Amino acid sequence: MSFASLGLSEEIVRAVTERGYTDPTPIQLQAIPAVLSGGDLLAGAQTGTGKTAGFVLPILHRLADKAVKGPSEGRPPIRALILTPTRELAAQVEESVREYGKYLKLNSMMMFGGVNINPQIQKLRSRVDILVATPGRLLDHAQQKTVDLSKVEILVLDEADRMLDMGFIRDIKKIMALIPKQRQTLLFSATFSDEIKTLADSLLNNPAMIEVARRNATAELISQKAYAVDRERKRELLTHLIKEHNWFQVLVFTRTKHAANRLAEQLDKDGIPAMAIHGNKSQAARTRALKEFKDGSLQVLVATDIAARGIDISELPHVVNFELPNVAEDYVHRIGRTGRAGSEGEALSLVCVDEHKLLADIARLTKRDLTAEILPGFEPDPRIKAEPILNGSQRGNQPRGGGQGRARTPVRSGSQPAARPAGGGGAKPAARAPALHRTGGRNR
């Protein structure tokens, strides 16, 4: 099945072909006809599946097909609104809109916070057919009456689960009140919690439902390993591994911004060029870090889950979980950064005594044997007791003012409240830890 046979116009197919895509991905095969039909859509797909083109291509087709002739007075209206949880994702989606739409006469704009609002106000005075925005800044514009959403025909909520995790539900509801009830709505989400189902029920009208398999649930190309190590010796072990194996382009995950900053600084001191990327960084700093990481001049990028989500860094050789995520599904997102497009990747988790329960959760979700190995020289000290992980932070990494920026509640269907002890109640967590075993003395 080709893009042309899905019913997309010649201009769009040409742009896609130039991008190097020959065949639609499974999500595109299902989403493109559904969106072209004009109906609502509820799609279960995560980053890496090709979901962006899955909605961008048919939206471009529909808007170009039914071009507005240009009003007799005033500027043409915004016709499609794409909401994303993060600035990086907004930038990437808008780049896709521009690239796939380069042979069409449609204008797009991205809009997010953390940057001066005035250039955005200026741009909104020109023709914008497709607006890609994060909710907070969009509402700022709405309040200042610098954006008019009253003619939006198509609305997309991209990574809706992440938007809810980041506390955007009220913003989304306010935005809904500003756009016409009569519209096409597309909701993309990697997970389907009860919250997402409620949101979908309230926003979608008799939607087509599609779901593609989790990309990485069976990603055979990713080698996954865990090392048992003391909480306070993780950085030492990471430095050792990076230097010993001469790793480059290592994406390292921490649970909190504070931990990301601290680790990046420490690695830098160890002579390993590293930068942190998270919501408190300026847009310029994030863009620079990402660029240097992509072009290979920055050896290590330390990221929080939220900052990294949606960033398209392809074919990473190494992803390291410096701290395991509180929500096992985030592990799948994290390691999905490696081994893309047929290249091999390695995902490594550094697991301390506090995190055995989290490791067991991940092993259960991914159906993998993730037994933590012990590296000679880094044997965990059995006298160290497990401590609860509160608000995503371990002792020593505890920020003064809480965890991840906007209140993030890692509560997904069937998961636990935010502030829970890693041991699932605190009582003897080590007793439920997966068995540890020693490697044969090799550091591989």
- Contacting residues toward ligand AMP, per CB under 6 A: 21, 23-25, 28, 47-53, 312, 314
Sign of the Cα torsion 266, 298, 393, 352 reads negative
* Min dist. Cβ of residue 310 to ligand AMP (A): 7
- Are 262 and 234 in contact by the 8 Å Cβ rule? The answer is no
Q: List Cα–Cα distances, 178 to 54, 129, 138, 205, 394, in angstroms.
A: 26, 17, 11, 18, 42
* DSSP character at residue 338: B
Number of H helices, E strands in the chain: 15, 15
Min dist CB 325 to ligand AMP, Å, is 20
β-pairing verdict for 372-374 and 437-438:
parallel
CB of 48 to ligand AMP, least distance (A): 5
Contacts by 293-298 with C-beta closer than 8 Å and gap 24+?
Answer: 293/249, 293/251, 296/248, 296/249, 297/273, 298/273, 298/274
CB 212 within 8 A of CB 27: yes
Closer residue to ligand AMP, CB minimum distance, 47 or 299: 47
3-state secondary structure of 255: coil
Contact 107, 130 (CB under 8 A): yes
The two tokens of residue 255 are: 């649970």
Rounded to a whole number of angstroms, the minimum distance from the CB of residue 161 to ligand AMP is 15
Nearer residue to ligand AMP within complex by CB, 6 or 389: 6
What string of H, E and C letters represents the secondary structure of 309-327? CCCCCCCECEEEECCCCCC
> Taking the complex as a whole, how short is the minimal distance between the CB of residue 106 and ligand AMP, in angstroms?
19
Beta pairing, strands 345-351 & 41-44: unpaired
Helix, strand or coil, per DSSP, at residue 9: coil
* Residue 109 C-beta: closest distance to ligand AMP, Å: 19
Q: Please say which residue, 100 or 322, places its beta carbon nearer to ligand AMP.
A: 100
Cα 348 to Cα 223, 359, 363, 364, 401: the distances in Å are 8, 12, 13, 17, 29
Structure tokens at 238: 């990471």
Task: CB nearer to ligand AMP: give 50 or 434.
Answer: 50
Shortest reach from residue 251's CB to ligand AMP, in Å: 15
CB of 226 to ligand AMP, least distance (A): 27
Please, which residues have CB within 8 angstroms of residue 252's CB and are 6 or more apart in sequence? 238, 263, 274, 300, 301, 302, 303, 319, 320, 322
Q: How far is the CB of 271 from ligand AMP (least distance, A)?
A: 32
Nearer to ligand AMP, 28 or 366 (CB): 28
